[in-house]
Structure 1
Amino acid sequence: MDIRPATPADADAIWHILESVLRAGETYALDRDLSRDDAVAFWLGGDRQSFVAIAHGMVVGTYYLRANQAGGGAHIANCGYATLAEARGRGVARAMAVHSFAEARARGFRAMQFNFVVSSNVPAVRLWHALGFETVGRVPEAFDHPERGLVDALILYRRL
């Protein structure tokens, strides 16, 4: 798998991944009806560096890396990840995570924090814990899951 910086030419492939994630409404606290243009603008925003994962000539995943906070919190990284539905369970998220750790260290970040991991997203929570993240906080009933109703959001942290 090759992981490289995303370019505007990747917008259609990124949207193809994000659309199913957003419409399902199970993992991101973003509007389920977000338009293509708004979703791509968010993912490729100027405050972050975005990447795509390519396998067999096809974009199978994408992630962004940014500072979690400004000023005194700018030494902590934050990321968002999305995998093509057909490629889930094939190590794409793990490969992007490992890549993001190296990218974050290279950019001078000292740790990584995820502010809002939906607790019912068991595969993601399992992966993050396996990769050394600790659950450092829990926000009760912070996410309105379309099938499960109100579920907790987790705050995860890992030193780099």
Structure 2
Amino acid sequence: MIREMTRLDFESFWPCFKSVIQAQETYAFEPNMVLEEAYRLWCELPLKTFVFVEGEQILGSYYIKPNGMGPSDHICNCGYMVDSKARGKGIARQLCEHSQRIAMELGFEAMQFNSVVSTNDVAVALWKKLGFNIIGTIPLAYRHGKLGYVDCYIMHKSLNVTIGE
């Protein structure tokens, strides 16, 4: 089940969030961020934040927000996290498909990911399967925790097509 995230949900999700940012493999977030900063970034600044819940466990989350302001506010941006224990179960796909439906309901015409770490092969492949295209490469844009400097991709999808194509 995917539903809007509450403060208590985020507190339950915090160990996953902290683990992801401390690994420094996928997110350009301060690795020593504390819970309050993370909550503000993930839940208060975006338009909406959702969780993927199975039973009592929160296995993933995403946020949605405009990618730009004014004349660029028709394109949205999302961020996704899935608990390491739940990866490979299709949760990221479900979250991305859900986010596209929500984006269209909110009136967005396209979705753009501004900084997909190029070595995150699973995410890059999934986003491509879901119709996103790499529209740019930012050379050496990310200091990977294990690999050093790696490229990042800008990925984009128009939302006037059927989700999942």
| Structure 1 length-normalised TM | 0.96
Residue 9 (str. 1) matches residue 8 (str. 2): yes
Shift of 1:58: 1.0
1:1-160 superposed matches below 5 A: 2-160=1-159
Shift of 1:32: 0.9
Structure 2 unaligned runs (5+)? 160-165
Deviating runs (4+, > 6 A) in structure 1? none
What's the % identity of the aligned pairs? 40
CA distance in 1, matches of 2:5, 2:125: 27
Shift of 1:48: 2.4
Question: Do the aligned residues in 2 keep the contact of 1:14 with 1:40 (CA within 8 Å)?
Answer: no
CA distance in 1, matches of 2:63, 2:79: 5
Question: Do the aligned residues in 2 keep the contact of 1:22 with 1:28 (CA within 8 Å)?
Answer: yes
CA distance in 2, matches of 1:36, 1:5: 19
Shift of 1:13: 1.9
Shift of 1:59: 0.6
Structure 1 unaligned runs (5+)? none
CA distance in 2, matches of 1:126, 1:47: 25
RMSD (Å), alpha carbons:
0.9
- Aligned residue-pair number: 159
Question: Which SS does the other structure have where 2:89 is aligned?
Answer: coil
Shift of 1:70: 0.6
CA distance in 1, matches of 2:25, 2:17: 12
Question: Which SS does the other structure have where 1:44 is aligned?
Answer: helix
Question: Do the aligned residues in 1 keep the contact of 2:46 with 2:63 (CA within 8 Å)?
Answer: no
Question: Do the aligned residues in 2 keep the contact of 1:141 with 1:150 (CA within 8 Å)?
Answer: yes
Question: Do the aligned residues in 2 keep the contact of 1:114 with 1:156 (CA within 8 Å)?
Answer: yes
CA distance in 2, matches of 1:17, 1:104: 25
Question: Do the aligned residues in 1 keep the contact of 2:60 with 2:91 (CA within 8 Å)?
Answer: yes
